Structure 1
Amino acid sequence: MPYIKLDHAGFEAIYREYWRRLFDFALSKTHDRDVAEELVQSLFVEIWERRTELMISNVRSYLFVSMRNRVIDYYNEKQFANLELAADEVAADTAAPDYEMFLDELETTFKDAVGSLAGKTRDIFMLNRLEGKSAKEISVELSIPERTVEYHITQALRQLRTILHKGIALIITLISGIIF
């Protein structure tokens, strides 16, 4: 298949024939006229700048694949920008007094939840999660089977998950009531 030569006349012919179709394609994907126009213009600018090195055999395929890739890049950049914005908002929120209040309430709720566990279950949980001891080390220290230690850890986690889920929902409700 012969390659297209992109001199001034050839470029202008391609531009006139495909500009509107590429714009419509980009608009259907981005739903934003300004973005679609920018993507099409940047594609044609790049083609013009690289006209001496490009070897295009199927202009239509080349243009639409290039435009599809530009739309994908646009969404990737947009997603990354949204993540950066969210990170900035979180960083700003962590400096707010409401965040400190939330952490204090969360710590109190956690301590109360651990305190509500049965004695042996609480002791085993504290040894495992707060002191970092393994089930085997705890079983040796307390002279009980390792499976019993695992059972108590599982029970503690189950109970804490239930208690903390309710507690955090309540804290968020209270804090959001204060904020608004």
Structure 2
Amino acid sequence: MLPEQEQILINKLNAGDRKALETIFRLFYPRLTRYAQHYLADPDAAQDIVQELFVYLWERRGNIRCVSLSALLLVSVRNRCLNYIEHQNYIGRYLDHMPHSEVEHLYATNLSISANSANSADPTSVDGSVLQQLLNTVLNNLPDRQQEAYRYVRLNDCTLQSAAEEMNISISAVAKLVNKASEKVKAYIQKHYPTDF
């Protein structure tokens, strides 16, 4: 795209023209997503970052000043990717240095499990076999990588680093997969066996 064409799009965007944003999105989204994926192992995170950039562009309409739209977008995606990586590495380092019991606590669904709950009148108690059945059901419906990460870290008691090495991904990617899986496990169990969280 010629610099003059980019400047026309920027002017239209600054004037609040939604079609200009759609045009910019259509022209740049595939390239920016591929570019973000060079930095990030997680394609979903790469797409999220690019989509958030377009939201930011729309929110900042009227104040966008640049010589090259493509340069602005590429630099913005790069900076957002680097910030994301730094944040994920921080989370990974934080979790790796926490005692395992505290990491478990962060992921815990806080269910009250009682072996005698079948005879209990307490509706917030969950029988261990019922919980295991719910867990198996939700795990079997998770995406493969989330399921794998969850099983390594939560069920097989591996560290994030060990899981990362086994899965050939970064520690932060494992943490993200486990977090996503944990949220789904928690939501599924809450839906099918409501408890006080």
Q: What TM-score, normalized to structure 1?
A: 0.47
Q: Greater helix share, 1 or 2?
A: 1
Q: What TM-score, normalized to structure 2?
A: 0.43
